[in-house]
Structure 1
Amino acid sequence: MTAVLSADTCRTTAIAKVSGADLQVPLVQGGECSYANFDYAASAPALAQVTDRIAELLPTYASVHRGAGYASRISTLTYENARESVARFVNCADDQVVVFTRNTTDSLNLLAQCVPGSTVVLDVEHHANLLPWNDARIVTAADTIEETIERLIGELCTKPAALLAITGASNVTGEILPIARLADIAHRCGARILVDAAQLAPHRRIDLQECGVDYIAFSGHKLYAPFGAGVLVGRRDWLDEAQPYLAGGGAVREVTIESTEWACAPARHEAGSPNVLGAAAIATACETLHALDFDVIAEHEKALTAQLTDGLSAIESVSLVRLWNDAPDAVGIVTFTVDGFEAGEIAAFLSAEHGIGVRDGRFCAHPVLARLGLSGGAVRASLGLGSSSDDVTRLVDAVNILVSNQRDWNYAKTAGAWNPVPETRPFLGAADDNAGAAECV
């Protein structure tokens, strides 16, 4: 399947069918409307091709690698073929292997135990790429990418490091770093490079051989495959030399009472029964995205992002959040604040009265939000394959209603979260008094 879409088409319609595209949600003032999903950066809905593939596989779901039955053979082939699909998706080098994990966080924690030395990271990172490293050297990002790179060079050259762990695209603002250039810098300084591609992989083509990246991690649930699997792709030697991430069946070649002979990667780090359906979901998403053409995906997102940015910028009390003044590109994420309103209050209003889903809080990036003076959080609107121009118009219009003080409902903060008062919407059997009670960070 090859998508050929004009810029005008991309501006007005979704470019792929996703689960929930026809979802109708209740409004607090009564009635219902179609759901406008602006939370792709947290968890993207499943592609139709992914849900179809899972439905196809469920009748033959069985044990992987250790069964001779027909269903087990099918499941084993499905699992290993999924590894090949991921390898093609990112164009692995010969010395790189694909390890299936639970998510990006799991992938980064796995790699952290394999790194034979210190790791250099930026303060803009998601906590998943900030907390796992055993010997982390944190560099404060500057106001420009160019100065930030100079600071990284200074840190890498001052004291040898084993790894530079860097985001591909910020989960706060979507701004993209020049990973090929950073890979070259890391290698010249004697380090390897890991790219947290959780936000980048669903939006831009990644070619590991072309960009020279040593390790990459991403999650299925952000890649339109929310079935509990993630990926770590990278050079074999560190993975083969490290202790297994989990000790158990599947990670071994031979076990006696006196000794254990561990398998090589990827099996070395995939102990236990693997998530064959999750791996198949990721593989199907990879194949579907590749067929859509990433140039088309980028054009679609850039048009909608420009529409959203222009619309919000025209509202006097709205401020957009940026990390760098010179970022040349960004995935479809627009983060903003509104004078006089807490982020959680804005998100509650958008959901309750307009059926719009956004993310509010600090996006698991507390240090950089604090440095930007946003310890109270912000609102993040993120776009994806199912987003349309109509969705963007609804969001901009709703924010205009908010700042014009034309809300229909009252809102109160209880247990750290904003909720409409009274809450009239049903939550599919959930305890209404607990809805939204946990702090969103």
Structure 2
Amino acid sequence: MDTSSLIPTNNGTLNSIYFDNAGTTPPFKSVMNELEKYLPWYKYVSDKSRKAKFLSELYEDSRTSLMNFFNADIENNTVIYTKNTTEAINILSNVICQQNSDMNPVVLTTYMEHLSDYLPWKYRCETDLVNVDQDGRLSILDLEQKLLKYRGRVKLVAVTGASNVTGYVNPIHEIARLAHIHNAEILVDAAQLMQHRKINMNPADAMESIDYIAFSAHKTYAPFFTGALVGNKHVLNMGYPLCYGAGITELVTDNEIILKDSPQRYEAGSNNILGVIALATAIQTMAQINMDVIEKHESELLSYAMHHLNLNPNIIIYGDNKHLEDRIPIIAFNVKDKTHEEVAKYLYEDYGIIVKNGLCGADLYVKKLIGGSPYTGIVRISMGLYNQDFEIDRLIKALH
């Protein structure tokens, strides 16, 4: 993958360093090669040619590849392609809240969530927020108490697989067990998890199974902004789409409409075939690299970065900076007496280091982390499988 380019800085021309992988990852070369291979065929998608038929088969076969990647239950699950994680969660929230509208359902989400896994529930269902502890970790005790509080009214627990701010990896199978004990389902927002850790939707213990996951291709080394919702097709077959149009119906007359089953009922209009090819190729590439290998390398990066950041007394690190076993390589911090805007601007203009700053779309969480301090946001570095120690060294030098 091409992850660096020469840019002018106040310290001369430098190779840029990209530390905003939680925002968007650069594409794998394997993905770009596959797109180059199929791009000339794109004009054939809507006709009756053999090429169109072949592309259509690729599109449908990719659903099975995704389910295999997550060890999903092929008999009972389906894959709905979307624009991104946000659309995937909106589709599910529309179904869940619509189906149970007469029962006054409750959806539990958390203070750790990106707004994409908060606002869709907030505006369609009665919601409650599970709290986080002083280090920013999810409170499993508070989750249990809220499940008990609503006496069976909770229909879904919507939780991030990993925080896009602190990198905490939530115990999704433990959460699934608690949800299922109370006859609720679980959605895992996997936008920040699937590129770093294995996700097993169908473990040996059925009580720990994951009912739904949502994710985006642009965070998994693939371009074209495809996303997906993987989950219970029987529930989804009873819902209504967010978007109506061609391709979602079995029958249309002037007084009757019969919708197709999922996934087609949620994929109105022309399909993003190139985006799906990119996503499928990226997932195959991660599987070939091996998720255990990725996790090991990224854990070493996180440990190396955290060790050196801890040596700088002017750095304020958010979250537990010593126990890193349950974290992906994301670090949120501030610099004493500097705003997050100043730090991000300085890192880029003087050292060619690209970071994210602000609330990172997780407004409720970041505000809890910074508490009553004068800071209005954080600086975030988020690393990927291709980053190296020498890049962290430049960051440490810049902050020093």
TM-score, scaled relative to structure 2: 0.91
Q: What's the CA shift string for 1:288-341, capped at 9, x where partnerless?
A: 101111111011111111111111110011011117997741111011110011
Per the TM alignment, residue 147 of structure 1 is displaced from its structure 2 partner at its CA by 7.5
Label 1:148 to 1:323 Cα distance change in 2 as closer, same or farther (>3 A).
farther
Q: Post-superposition shift, 1:202?
A: 0.5
Question: What SS does structure 2 have at the residue aligned with 1:303?
Answer: helix
Q: Which runs of 5+ in 1 are unaligned?
A: 1-17, 401-441
Q: Residues 252 and 268 of structure 1 are in contact (CA less than 8 Å); yes or no, is this contact kept in structure 2?
A: yes
Asked whether the equivalents of residues 90 and 120 of structure 2 are also in contact (C-alpha less than 8 Å), the reply is yes
Contact 1:143–1:323 (CA<8 Å) still a contact in 2?
no
Partner Cα distance (1:316, 1:277) in 2: 48
Instruction: Look up the match of 1:433.
Output: none
Asked if residue 82 in structure 1 is aligned to residue 62 in structure 2, the reply is: yes
2:78 — aligned with what? 97
Decide which of 225, 233, 250 is 1:253's aligned counterpart: 250
* Unaligned runs of at least 5 residues, structure 2: none
Out of 152, 155, 173, the residue aligned to residue 180 of structure 1 is 173
**Alignment partner of 1:152 is 2:143:** yes
**Amino acid corresponding to residue 318 of structure 2 in structure 1:** V
Identical-residue share of aligned pairs (%): 33
Which residue of structure 2 aligns with residue 404 of structure 1? none
Partner SS state of residue 334, structure 2: strand
Per-residue CA distance 1:131-163 (angstroms, 9 max, x = gap)? 101222122222368871111011112112000
In structure 1, the residue matched to 2:128 is: 137
Q: SS where residue 132 of structure 1 aligns?
A: helix
Please state whether the residue corresponding to 1:163 is helix, strand or coil.
strand
Match of 1:106 in 2: 87
Counterpart selection for 2:354 from 354, 357, 361:
357
Check whether the contact 1:225–1:282 (CA below 8 A) recurs between aligned residues.
yes
| Cα-to-partner distance string for 1:237-294 (whole Å, 9 max, x where unaligned) | 2211111221111111111111111000000100000100111111001111011111
Secondary structure of the equivalent of 1:379? strand
| 8 A Cα contact 2:24 2:218, kept in partner | yes
| 2:71–2:202 Cα contact (<8 Å) kept | yes
| Match in the other structure for 1:379 | 379
Q: Does 1:25 find its partner at 2:4?
A: no
Using a 3 Å threshold, how does the CA distance of structure 1 residues 323 and 132 change in structure 2: closer, same or farther?
A: farther
| Whole-angstrom CA distance in 2 between matches of 1:324 and 1:122 | 22
Contact 1:219 1:229 in 2 (8 A): yes
* Paired amino acid for 1:23: S
Which residue matches 1:127? Answer: 115
Structure 1 residues 325 and 145: alpha-carbon distance in aligned structure 2, compared to 1, 3 A threshold: farther
Pairwise CA RMSD = 1.8
| Residue from 195, 210, 232 that aligns with 1:202 | 195
- Counterpart CA distance in 1 for 2:107 and 2:43 is 40
Q: 1:70 offset after TM fit, Å?
A: 2.1
1:122 maps to a residue whose letter is T
Q: Does 1:51 align with 2:32?
A: yes
**Letter matched to residue 81 of structure 1:** D
Distance 2:325 2:184 in 1: 26
How many residues are paired up?
380
Q: Distance in 2 between matches of 1:98 and 1:267?
A: 10
After superposition, what is the alpha-carbon deviation per residue over 1:393-427, rounded to whole angstroms, capped at 9, x for unaligned? 11111111xxxxxxxxxxxxxxxxxxxxxxxxxxx
Cα deviation for residue 73 of structure 1 reads: 1.2
Residue pair 2:130, 2:138 contacting (<8 A) in 1 also = no
SS in 1 for 2:370: coil
Q: Pick closer, same or farther for the CA change 1:306–1:328 going to 2, 3 Å.
A: closer
Counterparts of 2:138 and 2:202, CA distance in 1: 27
Output the amino acid matched with 1:223: T
Separation in 1 of the partners of 2:86 and 2:320? Answer: 22
Q: 1:125 to 1:63 in 2, by over 3 A?
A: farther
TM-score w.r.t. structure 1 length? 0.83
